[in-house]
Amino acid sequence: MLEGQVSDSSGVPLADTDVSVRLVGEGASTLMSLNTETDESGNYRIAVPVILDNAPLAVESRFSKDGFSAGDYYNELDGETVVRVDATLSQSYSVSIKREDLENLAFAADGEPTLRISLLSNQKGQKRIVVGEALAAEDEVTEVSLDLPTAQINGDTTVINADIATFDSGDPDQLASYPGEFSAQGDVSSGEGQDGVDYTRDDSASGSNDLVSTTFFDINLTDQNGDPLEADDDQASASSTRAPSIMRYASPSVYKRIYSDVDPSKDGVQFPFFVKRSSRSKWQYVGNGTLVDRSGTPVGPDHPTYPVAIDTDGSVDFPDGANYRLYFKIEITRWNSWIRYINVDYYTLNMGGSQQPVNMCFTGSVEYGGGDPYTGSMYMRSPDYGYYRFRVSNGQFSFNRSISPRYGDPLDKSSWSNWNGRMYGKNYRNRREYRWYSRWRGRYYSYWYTPWEHHQLNTAFVNDTLVPVNQGCNEIRITMTNPAHCVISGRVYAEDGTTPLAGEIVSISSGSSSESVLTNSTGHYRKAAWCDADYQVSAVSKQAEFTVTRQNSPYSQDFVDDNRDPIVALFIESKPVLYKGDSTTVEWFMSDPEGDNLTAEISRCESATNSCGITESGNRATLSFTEEGTYDFEFSVTDGRNTVVKQTAFDVEIPDANRAPTIRGFTVDGQFVEPDGVASVVQNADADIAVVAVDSNGDQMTYSWANLDDCTTSSCLLSFDSLDDYVLTATVTDEREGNDSLSSEASLGITVVEDLPPAVEIQLSNSHFIAMNNVNIVPVVATLSATDDLTASEDFDISWSLTRGGTDISGQITNYFFSDFNMSIPPGAMGQGDYELSVAVTETLANGNPGQTVNATASFSIVDDLPPSIEIQTSANTLYGTNSGTENAVRLTASASDSEGVRSVNWSVPAPLQFTRSGNSIEILAASLVPGTYTISATVTDTSGQTAVAERVIEVMTDNAPVVDRLVASPESQIADAVGQSALAVTITVEASDDLSTPTISNWSVAPNVNFTDNGSSISIAAGDAAVGSYSVTATVADHRGQTTSESVSFEVIERDGNIEIIIE
């Protein structure tokens, strides 16, 4: 199974994201391609049908959503059953331009009309895209600027669409959007002496070398059909007086990754340039660019404003503290089809000048405190300032990496200290929720923030000495903080209820968090869980919902297989636009867990007025569309008992027809919100609210906001003084002559909240750390979780302190912080004792002044003997019973452990419960389990007298007697026949319900006695069997426990008196 979560760079989950995966076999062959969409929490799951002859060797994953840069990830596999691939997508900024408008928008550059598209950003991180020679404002910087001679645009192009996203590799959130692998193909030395870059160059047959990720960006240029923009002639750049060019801002954070001048024959610093042609391709070298100032002048040792040293071996050095305004300039000497992914980067073998890189092997483990394995992507930053992404599967990882000695010897552990060498990943156990209530919608809304957790590598290496790959691997052990202090566990059984099922997938979700685990050989699964959280757990097509608390943890949830759903997956051909007369293909793959025969059919493919054409061949169908419209598609598979239905829709348009603008969503202070979504803003604080819209026809757009007459642009600066809910409705209209204009409308819910204090918590990797020779022998890892409704994390004022025995020793930890949010005290730094770690976090108000301060503390101990641990497993958390007890006894087992031995385990069981004990297990007698809530505890004592306590809460709820909902006799009254007997048959029917089970009818009785036929939920008395008189019928219903309820109803047979009764209605 493939699973994961897609979020934006601020951590907000992205719904309705297209997820496409390719399972890769030998020789990069395609074994299977599948796709799906994320749910409202940004999660996706793809169950892979079991039909492949060979296990896949890798999985390529692609994530795309309108308004965001697409993400491509490649992960090698090692026989895993569950593969987790998370994705971070960064918001892109879009503009559409009509070909006929180019004359007005282009400017003359070297005498040639040129289209310029620029992305600007301000100090708040807000961005905007502009067309033409627009200048950046005083507080803005031009992040990227593209100059494209209009004569080079293919003559068949009527609309130019641009989507631009930029990334800073020094930012963990942005680096997570890096597409593809951290390696590339091509020989950089072959570009020496050449001018610019050649997009048509093909080095796909060459080997790969490690990249370090200097800076990367996404400039997606497409035509009116959504296809990559085509050049009028692939020689156009070479023959033109002006080549397309890109200027990308080089922030000071990347200076250390501008390693060398790769072409001494050219003026200034020449850097390598790479492109990624598709989701399946690797990065490829296509030529060199030049480091320049804003005017385009190359930067080098003699630059009057921005001097940069270039050594004889090509190494580049910036002055300490340099904060230049520099740009990477790339001139494209040849292109035929635009390539969106572009990367300024270096091979590790080009970084050290005359020094050669060291190839190293890294292997090890990543687990949460408490021993649960970590699964997901992590990043390593090496001493050469390079980055590398690798995957951790079930707590294990292994990879090779070339490390340059440019800034320090990679084989010297001191080179890996502090920020110079670290590993980091998102701690999914430390996810934090920001939550508010919308009175308008009558429900809670929230977004989740998953913090990065950093670990210093010089203390995480197990080896005393680091070695190159030919001498072995360097082992690393990482322990992440774990705020999930409760446990969910259980077993999965076959249909007989006793045979364990090994290797079954158990999916566990809470809020927007979702993870899967596998059962072991005994059918058992286990996962750490947040306490006081609602969970949904599913296995073998069954689902359970419950709340986990400290009192009922470990929460036990078993599953019994009877018949699982068929496994069905689709692959739908991806096309930017479907036009009337087009066709597309759908492939399906399916298997059945029990091996049942499957029947599949396309059960629906139709619009409101038309059906699509369907041509099937094997497991593939070609769908054709003769009319425009939205076609709903359904594909169903059944095993004869369970049916699975997959659904999607196809939007078919008319070529060249005007289409209404598309509203992709909104941004609220830069945070993306889906259409009709809800966002919170702080009372009396300025909120920058914008609608994100594009027009595929390239028309100019106008904007209007309901009840906001003063706002006629795409964005509004608003302030709300009342704690209330508001609905903002934006209408976007394209500008067309005559009556051809079209509009789109979308709403945004705004909930105004108070300026709340920051939510602050310290998470430790453990509460007790083992000591040897009076000092800790494992790192003490602390992570700060601090979120605020108004203050960005970088704007907090954070102050840490540490005390031991009441004495302040804060000065001893100042060198152990990666950032204000992450600390790792290395082995040997702290002596035995009890410590209290404290932090004070102060928010920043809207006016820039300090706001409220929140303090948090966490205690830990460094001891030579760790205290024991204990956990209670129970056969049931909740039961139903009466004053006579429950049907079954409850068994509780204490699992206790200690490094030096357990002396005793003692139980505390409240009255009136009665129990028997065998070893470390007790059994609560069924007869004593009367309704009530009981806290049962077990205390373990180790050989040195240290103790630990575990508690379980057992709740016995009242099993009520069944209820007779309806008891009727028909007819209730009748006239006797001539001989004094009932002239009509009488039917008495009962309906009953029970709080736990379906009740049964345990008895019928009729008084006076008369013959009747028992039909289960009814009885019938034949005509002529009841004499004149009144009768009482009693029905008795029983539940599964034998509790009964009786109700009675009457009917009568009236003596005939010879008169004729006339009823007038």
| Per-residue pLDDT tens over the stretch 34-80 | 999 999 888 999 999 988 888 899 999 999 999 999 988 888 888 88
What pLDDT is attached to residue 1063?
44
pLDDT tens track for 580-629: 999 999 999 999 988 899 999 999 999 999 999 999 999 999 999 999 99
Q: How many domains would you assign to the chain?
A: 7
- DSSP state, residue 611: B
First-to-last alpha carbon distance for the chain, in angstroms, is 69
Are both 823 and 880 inside the same structural domain? Answer: no
Strands (E), 9-137: 18-24, 30-37, 43-46, 58-64, 71-76, 83-84, 87-89, 93-98, 107-109, 112-122, 127-131
Please confirm whether the linkage preceding 554 is cis (ω < 30° from 0).
Answer: yes
533 within some domain: yes
Spatial separation of the C-alpha atoms in residues 1039 and 668, rounded to whole Å: 56
How many residues comprise the chain?
A: 1065
Say what percent of the chain tops pLDDT 90: 48
Are both 192 and 311 inside the same structural domain? Answer: yes
Confidence at 351, pLDDT banded by 50, 70, 90: low
70 within some domain: no
What pLDDT is attached to residue 284?
93
The residue with tokens 């079209």 is: 742
Weakest mean pLDDT among 13-22, 245-254, 384-393, 733-742: 733-742
Among candidate residues 862, 888, 904, the one where a domain is terminated: 862
Are both 457 and 366 inside the same structural domain? Answer: yes
What pLDDT is attached to residue 737?
78
What pLDDT is attached to residue 1029?
94
pLDDT tens track for 230-266: 998 755 555 556 789 999 999 888 888 888 899 988 9
- DSSP state, residue 459: H
Q: Which of 197, 219, 237 is nearest to 336 (CA)?
A: 237
The b-or-e profile of 589-608 (16+ CB within 10 A means b, else e) is: bbbbbeebebebebeebebe
pLDDT tens track for 798-826: 999 999 988 999 999 988 887 888 888 88
Domain that holds residue 433: 358-480
Q: What is the DSSP pairing of strand 376-381 with strand 326-334?
A: unpaired
CATH number of the structural domain spanning residue 388: 2.60.40
pLDDT tens track for 124-136: 778 889 998 877 8
pLDDT tens track for 518-530: 998 889 998 888 8
Mean of all residue pLDDT scores within the chain: 88
What pLDDT is attached to residue 996?
78
Confidence at 1065, pLDDT banded by 50, 70, 90: very low
Are both 97 and 237 inside the same structural domain? Answer: yes
What pLDDT is attached to residue 1059?
56
What pLDDT is attached to residue 246?
95
Among candidate residues 958, 985, 1001, the one where a domain is terminated: 958
Are both 284 and 297 inside the same structural domain? Answer: yes
Are both 827 and 741 inside the same structural domain? Answer: no
Does the pLDDT at position 1061 exceed 60? no
Tell me the Ramachandran region of residue 522: left when phi exceeds 0, alpha when psi lies from -120 to 50, beta otherwise: alpha
Are both 476 and 494 inside the same structural domain? Answer: no
Q: Which of 644, 629, 547 is nearest to 591 (CA)?
A: 644
Does the pLDDT at position 111 exceed 90? no
Does the pLDDT at position 287 exceed 90? yes
83 within some domain: no
Among candidate residues 480, 497, 528, the one where a domain is terminated: 480
Are both 244 and 141 inside the same structural domain? Answer: yes
How are strands ordered across the β-sheet holding 376-381?
387-392, 376-381, 422-426, 452-456
Are both 460 and 537 inside the same structural domain? Answer: no
Are both 996 and 922 inside the same structural domain? Answer: no
pTM summary value: 0.78
CATH number of the structural domain spanning residue 953: 2.60.40.10
